[in-house]
Structure 1
Amino acid sequence: MPDIKPHRASFGIVFAIVMIDMLGFGIITPVLPGLIIDLTHVDIGTAAEYAGWLGAGYAAMQFVFAPVIGNLSDRFGRRPVLLAAVFLLGLDYLLQAMAPHFWWLVAGRLIAGITGASFSAAYAYIADVTPPEKRAASFGLMGLAFGFGFVVGPALGGLLGSVDARLPFYAAAGLALTNFTFGLIFLKESLSLENRRPFNWRKANAISSLRALRGQSPTVLWFVAALGTWQLAHVVYPSVWPYFAIAAYGFSVRDVGLALAMVGFSSALVQGLGLRIALPKLGEQRAVVLGVFGLCASAVLYTLAREHWQVYVAIAVGALQGFVQPPISAYNSRAVDARSQGELQGAVQSIGSIAAIIGPPMYTQALARFSGPDAIIDLPGMPMLLSAGISVITLVLFWKGASLLKQEKPDQLSSSTSQ
């Protein structure tokens, strides 16, 4: 492993890049339903379906470009890839802010999917600068960045959106371009020259990447499947939650923004602080179990909730799901060598994007079929219950992969399994 000490100071820069990216994403979430309705003149149920297809298009771009970006970062380094993506994201938010027609918004979301694929490079950066036994906690800090972005983002988006539906997009553009300037000045490269490898377009796709990574360890396939299934369960929140809250509880834009801020705050608290406290006591495998239980319990609470305070109880319980992704990602990163971390993270994000293609239409269709005057059964919480069932599959896949990796590399895993 290369010497990582000179680069550890830049961990905070990557954290800031991810956090500000998610802040920009969170800002537009509360106003997207209203903007779709304004541009298309449809009702909330149809707007939810449109949003589902927008989410699928966003994810389709990630499926194609995440392996490309991950492999490019293995060839040219993490820094130039991250900076280029952040700059293009800022320009894209400006495009969406000025959209006079729905198809401009469609184009903007597709471009955002390409730039959002840069998270593969960000996670590879963390793997570069963090020892294997500490990666679960470090990936948890990336979850803190995601969560913090959703604390401030939706709340700010709700406030700005109450003035003008397009104002949050301009704010997101300003944040992204500021982020680019900040990274241009302070971000250092994490991937040493000796750990770089040639780029091959024919191999820059999820199937080729997984085939190559499987040669290093067959357990990669189990962990990638677990992360993809978890993405399918977790994507219920960005794809349908605002529409679910409006349909089930009659939330306003302000209510949606504040509730999503609470989701972000509780998630940040669990991943940034709770994971570091609980992981040494629970161990990584039990932490994943607790996280899946949290998602399932919150789904039931969302379905039964009738008052606003009950929704916030469900949000608090659901925050436990922050224990799931970082340990699985840590196990996965230990299965391959330092030269392949970008390729691995690109493959993970690409497979996860398949779930994000399937998830938004699936959850929004479930909401449309189980809410409103033409509902099969009046059960707006059906998307949340569906998500809970899928999360159990994640647990089974992770257990299988962890068991195989423990047999394959017992010495490398001894520190984590003894926690």
Structure 2
Amino acid sequence: MATSFREKNALIFVLITVAINAIGFGIIIPVLPELIKSLTGLDNNQAALHLGGMTFIFAVMQFVCMPIAGGLSDAFGRRPVMLFSVGALAFDYLMMALAPTIAILYLGRAISGAFGATFSTANAYISDVSPPQMRAQNFGLVGAIFGVGFILGPVLGGWLGEFGPRVPFFAAGGICALNFVYGFIVLPETHKPEKRRAFDIKRSNAAGSLKSLSRISGVKGMIFVYFLLAVAHTVYPSTYTLSTQEALGWAPKDVGNSLGAFGLASLFVQGYLIRIAIPKLGLFWCGLIGMGSCVLAYGILGNASEGWIVYAAGPFAALAGLYGPSLTNMMSIRVSDTEQGELQGALGAAQGLAMMIGPLVLTGVFYVFADPETSPIYKPGAPFLLAALLAAISFVAFMMVTTKEDRTAKLSDVPAPVVEPIPDA
């Protein structure tokens, strides 16, 4: 019973941490472009380049550091990595709140990227405390809680932004600081010493993790699909605010309200629908439905000329939430217990690489097509149309890298992982 109680505490803390981090992340989305413009005096399409640059530096640091965090959590446990990450996020938000120059904003994003291992470690916690048959539902629960935070975050950020673009950053930093204190008191360790492996720097990088995991059938291809979808998904943090402001004349409060509505729809999908859909349809078909919904959501947003059209994309954007837990679980059940942190680190590195490439490309597309005077074709939603194309490619790639067994498998058929880990060097 002690183990069960410890695991319950871990799950509760992980869910609270994800919610708080989603709130903190969501709070700044409606106002970060405003803070950039206030520090630089630039207009929308020029400020987009700084926004892309900040996302790029954040992604570079994540790409380098996420596999290291995954390896450290496999070697030394989840608790110290998680607590350090949460504390670093609090520091980052407060630094950005006080930033006197644009350079400090860049530094803040670099620090956040270097230590922002929260979500990969959270998923490793889920892997520790969940049997293989329950991982997709629990990954979905993490997504649902993220949705709760994302309902509150952008709405709160939009309203707090009425008092100035720095106020939401102070709020995000304070929330993360409180979460650190809470975690320091109650967070248990779930990665048992007998399941740990020695830290190996050769495997604690993107190339090393991918090489180590690529021996397992299907994992390498699924990481590629995950990467494509992650590139497409960067359209939200990099250009959503600027695109809706340019195309629809929205204020930060309008942006926050729309993202809150998206979060509410995502909460329904990941907190309720996914627990029905995955057992009935299986991981493969839920993943496919999620990817198809991505294509539709991005396509609608790319052509939105009225506010109601943005909201009409919400149900499809929410159904896209099916692909994340499905893909993650399909990979998780293929690897051993000693490699769950490494897998999450590799996925974090793929996410980081996507965040390097996606925002630079997408904000560049916005820069080209969002100036009514100089653009060859004035189309503020052009980044979303590119995202729709990437999601369509991922849909096809997913069909190619999965097997007949994947397409017919139900969760009741999933065995515990039997892959032998590579011996530590």
Measured in 2, the distance between the counterparts of 1:301 and 1:119 equals: 29
Measured in 2, the distance between the counterparts of 1:360 and 1:44 equals: 15
1:178 corresponding residue in structure 2: 178
TM-superposed CA distance for 1:293, in Å, is 2.0
Q: Which amino acid aligns with 1:296?
A: V
Mapping of 1:270-419 within 5 angstroms? 270-372=269-371, 373-403=373-403, 406=406, 414-415=413-414
Measured in 2, the distance between the counterparts of 1:16 and 1:295 equals: 27
- Percent identity at matched positions? 39
TM-superposed CA distance for 1:377, in Å, is 0.9
CA spacing shift, 1:6–1:183, aligned 2, 3 Å: closer
TM value normalised by structure 2: 0.93
Q: Which amino acid aligns with 2:233?
A: H
CA spacing shift, 1:210–1:204, aligned 2, 3 Å: same
2:423 corresponding residue in structure 1: none
Measured in 1, the distance between the counterparts of 2:297 and 2:132 equals: 32
What do residues 133-177 of structure 1 show as CA deviations (whole Å, max 9, x unaligned)? Answer: 111111111111221121100111111111021111110111001
Q: Which amino acid aligns with 2:330?
A: Y
Measured in 1, the distance between the counterparts of 2:12 and 2:410 equals: 30
Measured in 2, the distance between the counterparts of 1:412 and 1:266 equals: 25
Measured in 2, the distance between the counterparts of 1:271 and 1:130 equals: 17
2:419 corresponding residue in structure 1: none
Measured in 1, the distance between the counterparts of 2:299 and 2:88 equals: 40
Deviating more after overlay: 12-21 vs 302-311 = 302-311
Does the 8 Å CA contact 1:328/1:398 hold for their aligned counterparts? no
SS in structure 2 opposite 1:201? coil
Measured in 2, the distance between the counterparts of 1:337 and 1:405 equals: 20
Measured in 1, the distance between the counterparts of 2:307 and 2:411 equals: 47
TM-superposed CA distance for 1:353, in Å, is 1.1
SS in structure 1 opposite 2:197? coil
SS in structure 1 opposite 2:376? coil
TM-superposed CA distance for 1:315, in Å, is 2.0
Does the 8 Å CA contact 1:158/1:257 hold for their aligned counterparts? yes
Measured in 2, the distance between the counterparts of 1:405 and 1:16 equals: 36
Does the 8 Å CA contact 2:81/2:117 hold for their aligned counterparts? no
Mapping of 1:176-325 within 5 angstroms? 176-215=176-215, 217-325=216-324
TM-superposed CA distance for 1:314, in Å, is 1.4
What do residues 207-232 of structure 1 show as CA deviations (whole Å, max 9, x unaligned)? Answer: 111212223x1321012111111101
SS in structure 2 opposite 1:270? helix
Measured in 2, the distance between the counterparts of 1:248 and 1:207 equals: 40
TM-superposed CA distance for 1:295, in Å, is 1.7
Measured in 1, the distance between the counterparts of 2:204 and 2:278 equals: 34
Measured in 1, the distance between the counterparts of 2:75 and 2:404 equals: 30
What do residues 282-313 of structure 1 show as CA deviations (whole Å, max 9, x unaligned)? Answer: 22222122212222222232233332122111
TM-superposed CA distance for 1:399, in Å, is 2.9
Deviating more after overlay: 53-62 vs 379-388 = 379-388
Measured in 1, the distance between the counterparts of 2:191 and 2:298 equals: 41
Deviating more after overlay: 290-299 vs 191-200 = 290-299
1:54 corresponding residue in structure 2: 54
Measured in 1, the distance between the counterparts of 2:45 and 2:184 equals: 43
Does the 8 Å CA contact 2:290/2:321 hold for their aligned counterparts? yes
TM-superposed CA distance for 1:395, in Å, is 2.3
Measured in 1, the distance between the counterparts of 2:235 and 2:208 equals: 29
Does the 8 Å CA contact 2:132/2:414 hold for their aligned counterparts? no
1:145 corresponding residue in structure 2: 145
2:13 corresponding residue in structure 1: 13
Measured in 2, the distance between the counterparts of 1:210 and 1:278 equals: 30
SS in structure 2 opposite 1:140? helix
Q: Which amino acid aligns with 1:100?
A: P
CA spacing shift, 1:51–1:388, aligned 2, 3 Å: same
TM-superposed CA distance for 1:20, in Å, is 0.5
Measured in 2, the distance between the counterparts of 1:121 and 1:226 equals: 21
2:422 corresponding residue in structure 1: none
Deviating more after overlay: 394-403 vs 322-331 = 394-403
TM-superposed CA distance for 1:94, in Å, is 1.1
Q: Which amino acid aligns with 1:29?
A: I
TM value normalised by structure 1: 0.94
Does the 8 Å CA contact 2:90/2:175 hold for their aligned counterparts? yes
CA spacing shift, 1:203–1:293, aligned 2, 3 Å: closer
CA spacing shift, 1:193–1:411, aligned 2, 3 Å: farther
Measured in 2, the distance between the counterparts of 1:130 and 1:400 equals: 29
Measured in 2, the distance between the counterparts of 1:98 and 1:76 equals: 34
CA spacing shift, 1:130–1:4, aligned 2, 3 Å: farther
SS in structure 1 opposite 2:163? coil
Measured in 2, the distance between the counterparts of 1:292 and 1:404 equals: 19
1:68 corresponding residue in structure 2: 68
Measured in 1, the distance between the counterparts of 2:406 and 2:130 equals: 20
- Contiguous gaps of at least 5 residues in structure 1: none
Does the 8 Å CA contact 1:69/1:118 hold for their aligned counterparts? no
TM-superposed CA distance for 1:405, in Å, is 7.0
Q: Which amino acid aligns with 1:223?
A: M
Measured in 2, the distance between the counterparts of 1:317 and 1:214 equals: 32
Measured in 1, the distance between the counterparts of 2:359 and 2:303 equals: 23
- Contiguous gaps of at least 5 residues in structure 2: 416-425
Measured in 1, the distance between the counterparts of 2:387 and 2:370 equals: 17
Measured in 2, the distance between the counterparts of 1:57 and 1:68 equals: 17
Does the 8 Å CA contact 2:9/2:186 hold for their aligned counterparts? no
